[in-house]
Structure 1
Amino acid sequence: MIPTDDPDCWLLCPAHRWIYDKLRMAESQGLQAGPHGVPPPAYPVFSKPIINLRGMGTGSRIIATATEMAHFTSPGHMWMPLLSGAHISTDCAVEDGRIAWSRHATGTPWNDGMFRYWTVHAAANPALEERLAAWTLRHMRGYSGMMNFETIGGDIIEAHLRFADQWCDLYGDGWAEALVRLYAEGHWSFADRNRVDGFSVPLFARHGAGFKHPPAGLQAAVRAMPHISSLQITFHEDKPMAQHAMPPGGFRLAVVNATSLSAAQAARRRLATAWDPALIINQD
């Protein structure tokens, strides 16, 4: 069993599911934090649900004053410092609490919770890797498997008992086989050679419409374009659109992964022809 979604991780890893408690995660790093109802010592603060297995930043906001806090106080929510610095997603392979491999990605933000694209970096980040390694050794003994960390300025804001499945095809040949060995045998073995930067480019449409998947022929043509690693259609036709977890700014139709940003953007434009142009949000 290799989980790729947080509810599955919660069920499969009961001894370590506590990492989904964001209040406990903040306290494990010495960050000031508390549940709504306990006043912060200063403002602004960042507010979010203590546990959110749905993702997509649901229910999160900046609270700038005590008056705003009184208005937005919600059961099951917490506050923590409003952090600054690079916002990085890091996938890690963990053996009994020891990080054996990692890869970092950063998003280029757009608006209303959307990103223009993500860059999966070939380069290491030694300072961040050292901080994550120390935290993992201290708190994750007994766990072997993948983890994903979201950090801002080196502080962990979220942790997951899984990897970011959106762009893992950009990690190189043999990575999926190493993933299977990690879960089957408990150890990590991956010849991580010839890294290159990768790019994960989403296609967004306006909320409120119903959507069908693009024709299979168009999907195949997009996947066959130069430098394209994968095409992912990110919604279910048979599920009400409102039940998909999406950012406020738009409904994500698809993601294109590639080793060239311009190639990914060209593939996105070609894929967008499957839908009414009036519904597509221009991202170029």
Structure 2
Amino acid sequence: MPICEADPWRMQYFEGVDCPADVNVPTEDGDAWAWYPEFKWVYNKLDVAESQHFVCGPHGLMPPAFPVFSKPVFNMRGMGIGSRILRTEREYKANQRPGHIWTPVLTGEHISTDVAVVDGEAKWWRHTFGKPLDGGMFDYWTVLGEANPEVEAYCGDWLRENLRGYTGMVNFETIGARIIEVHLRFADQWPDLYGGRPWVEALVKLYAEGVWDYDDSDRRTGYSVVLFGGHGLQYTHPSEDLVDEVRAMDGVTSVQVTFHQDRPPSWHAMPPGGFRLAIVNCWDLETGIRAREKLALSFWSTQQLTPSRRRRTAEPA
């Protein structure tokens, strides 16, 4: 298996692709951290902010103005854990945390960008943006077919200045075309929308031979529709027959059931607003929404409340 994938629901994108035995392609930040020690500094969000000359600093230093955006300097689990806006000096002093930093509050479009990089030079770009819901959730993601010249110019310059010598995939999170996070991997949620097997073969060749060779002339916009449920519930996977039925819908490219039913819900990294149950990738948004509704009916019929943990009281003497 060429892709080192921790989530079994995403193995479907990489099965059957040939790869040299000594080639490892990371999809997890922990693997990228270990395999690229020279470049793992990009996971330090203070270093990334300072590389763009932001006014920023660790908690304990007073920002010159408010509001500021506060977040952990390292967050290897994702989902925006521990991040928030601090609007006043009083709020900042009440919420200082070890290992957290403050940066400017950026405005503009929030874009996730995957880049194929050869020796610090960008060779391929793909941009995605989400429709946000409350609580850090997204209703769906739009995987754009078109370019984003502003993001590509800014991030391309940043790559040349900061990642010379690196070859592989890079994922940027940007707001207003300014970088908030960098990952030495790609978003493994939608390889089917990037091009399926031919794209994965190009991915392997990038890591095996250090070249990017992919015909992207027929790219088009796709969608990744997300199903959330409530927290505090123990969910069961839908039947394979139902998943196959949804996957066979015209315009649907894949279905991911995005949790381990044999593990406690609290072991999953999820946004505060809800528990992510499934993702439907598709070429038509309305089809994806109908597919999500089919899956939702199955989940609602099988959910179970998880027992609450109550403090044990002493037995009477």
Q: TM-score, normalised by structure 2?
A: 0.87
The answer to whether residue 209 in structure 2 is matched with residue 180 in structure 1 is no
Is the partner of 1:133 in helix, strand or coil?
helix
- Correspondence list, 1:1-284, <5 A: 1-173=24-196, 174-276=198-300
Matched residues in 2 for 1:277 and 1:198: separation?
Answer: 30
- The amino acid of 1:257's aligned partner reads N
Matched residues in 2 for 1:34 and 1:62: separation?
Answer: 15
Is the partner of 1:159 in helix, strand or coil?
strand
Is the partner of 2:238 in helix, strand or coil?
coil
Matched residues in 1 for 2:204 and 2:176: separation?
Answer: 32
Is the partner of 1:262 in helix, strand or coil?
helix
1:140-174 CA-partner distances (Å, limit 9, x unpaired): 01110000000000110000000011112101241
Query: What do you get for the CA RMSD once the two structures are aligned?
Result: 1.3
Q: Which has the larger radius of gyration?
A: 2
- The amino acid of 1:73's aligned partner reads Q
Q: 1:258 to 1:149 in 2, by over 3 A?
A: same
Structure 1 segments unaligned to the other structure (5+ residues): 280-284
- The amino acid of 1:240's aligned partner reads P
Q: Give 4+ residue runs of structure 1 displaced > 4 Å after superposition.
A: none
1:219-242 CA-partner distances (Å, limit 9, x unpaired): 111111110011111101122110
Q: 1:115 to 1:171 in 2, by over 3 A?
A: same
How much does 1:176 deviate? 0.7
1:9-57 CA-partner distances (Å, limit 9, x unpaired): 1111111000000000000001111000000000000000000001000
1:162-203 CA-partner distances (Å, limit 9, x unpaired): 001111210124111100100111110000021111000100
Is the partner of 2:128 in helix, strand or coil?
strand
Is the partner of 1:276 in helix, strand or coil?
helix
Matched residues in 2 for 1:132 and 1:34: separation?
Answer: 22
Is the partner of 2:215 in helix, strand or coil?
coil
- State the aligned residue count: 280
